[in-house]
Structure 1
Amino acid sequence: MDLIKLREIHAFNKSKKHRLLDNCFLYSCTVLTCTLFCSSPFWFPSLFHSMKLFLFVSLPKLCSLLLSPKFIFIVGNLIIVVLVGESKYFTSSSPSATDVYYDEYIDQKKSLQASSAGVGEKKEVKTEESYKEKQSKTCESMKERKDLEGEEFSLPTEELKKRADDFIARVNRQRMHEAWQAISVL
């Protein structure tokens, strides 16, 4: 064996002995503390009497108070007040993010149509597959925008799902309208 291996083995054995001593000291202190605590009623009869009074008289009274109908009624009403305060009923009536995203989508669509009309390209009727692909892309871009917006994280998940569904429905209606216009032009 080389010198490095011998030193590693010696250090390991030495640390093992120290751990054993540390554990022995810790266990000894624990046993001593428990013994002193358990024998304390004999040293301090007033402390023993106080503990007995607390455990057998005060604690049951406290439990009966916490389980009384009046206390439960008050706690229930406080919970309802907090939930209503955090709900959407008291939020500001600013325009929803869905409307903003929908308006942005319409503006972008109109600018694309204007640029394609200037070049002279023909409009093609969308197939169902491309329709679903664009719908998923729109949904993904909306999720990315929500991730970028700091205020959207403060809304509850149910509200976000509802807004996303509303946005997708509006986009679908707009696409159907555009498809009907394209068919009627042909």
Structure 2
Amino acid sequence: MDSVKKEKLEAMERYRKGSQFLRVLMQFVLRVVLLGLFMSSPNWLPCFFSSVKFFFLVRVPKICTMAAGPRFIFMISNVIIVILVGGSRLPKNPAERVGLYEEYVMKSPTVQSLAMAEVKENEAFADQIVKAEALREEKDEESEVDDVMEEEEEEEEWLPAEELNKRVEDFIAMVNKQRKLEAKMLICCE
């Protein structure tokens, strides 16, 4: 095992020396190139400055006048119109983007009938609760002067408090169930 470890260490050293050699060579070449550029700067630097001056003093103003011209504005406005028309052709609501299966599920009479039945049940139950609340308010507004017989007759029409609470809890459970069903339908449609 010692010989294997020794061979591995020697291979690692050779690799490190090879990568160090390449790194040193690259640094040397970069230094030579930069020194050559610096030494030859009197030859190319005036030409470079004149080119930069020409670009900023001659070309940039021409580009600005061209950009402010009617042709350029006409082209930009046409590009904007094309983008807007292309964007308007995309479907806006997710129902238009659904696949065949989702469309079938959405149009399926069983799903619609189940949803409508739950809505009708909820509406009927809500009507009962509203009527019970209206009766309760009427009872509260009655004067105490009324005789005891009228109050007992009205109480007989009312549901017991336990049954009313049970119906309210059933209504809440039904609404929660409907919300879950609607959420599942939305997930299926997306």
TM-score range for the pair, normalised by the shorter chain length: 0.5 to 0.7
Query: How far does the alpha carbon of each residue in 1:47-92 deviate from its partner, in whole angstroms, 9 at most, with x for none?
Result: 44432210223333333344x3652577666554333312246755
Is it true that 1:51 corresponds to 2:98 in the alignment? no
In structure 1, give the amino acid aligned to 2:13: N
CA distance in 1, matches of 2:28, 2:47: 29
Is it true that 1:82 corresponds to 2:129 in the alignment? no
How many angstroms does 1:37 deviate by? 1.7
- 1:137 matched residue in structure 2: 184
- 1:178 matched residue in structure 2: none
RMSD: 3.8
In structure 2, give the amino acid aligned to 1:58: F
Q: 1:76 to 1:95 in 2, by over 3 A?
A: closer
CA distance in 2, matches of 1:19, 1:59: 45
When normalised by structure 1's length, the TM-score is 0.52
Q: Mark the structure with the bigger radius of gyration.
A: 2
Unmatched tracts of structure 2, length 5 or more: 123-173
In structure 1, give the amino acid aligned to 2:181: K
- 2:10 matched residue in structure 1: 10
Aligned length: 131
In structure 2, give the amino acid aligned to 1:57: F
In structure 2, give the amino acid aligned to 1:138: M
CA distance in 2, matches of 1:56, 1:113: 74
CA distance in 1, matches of 2:38, 2:54: 21
SS at match of 1:19: helix
Is it true that 1:64 corresponds to 2:61 in the alignment? yes
CA distance in 2, matches of 1:48, 1:112: 79
SS at match of 2:17: helix
How many angstroms does 1:131 deviate by? 1.9
CA distance in 2, matches of 1:112, 1:141: 12
Q: For residues 72-151 of structure 1, what are the structure 2 equivalents within 5 Å? A: 78-88=75-85, 92=89, 98=95, 104-108=104-108, 110-111=109-110, 125=121, 127-143=174-190
Q: 1:77 to 1:7 in 2, by over 3 A?
A: farther
In structure 2, give the amino acid aligned to 1:135: E
CA distance in 2, matches of 1:15, 1:90: 58
CA distance in 2, matches of 1:33, 1:111: 80
When normalised by structure 2's length, the TM-score is 0.51
Q: 1:84 to 1:141 in 2, by over 3 A?
A: farther
Is it true that 1:28 corresponds to 2:28 in the alignment? yes
In structure 2, give the amino acid aligned to 1:71: A
How many angstroms does 1:2 deviate by? 1.8
Q: 1:93 to 1:9 in 2, by over 3 A?
A: closer
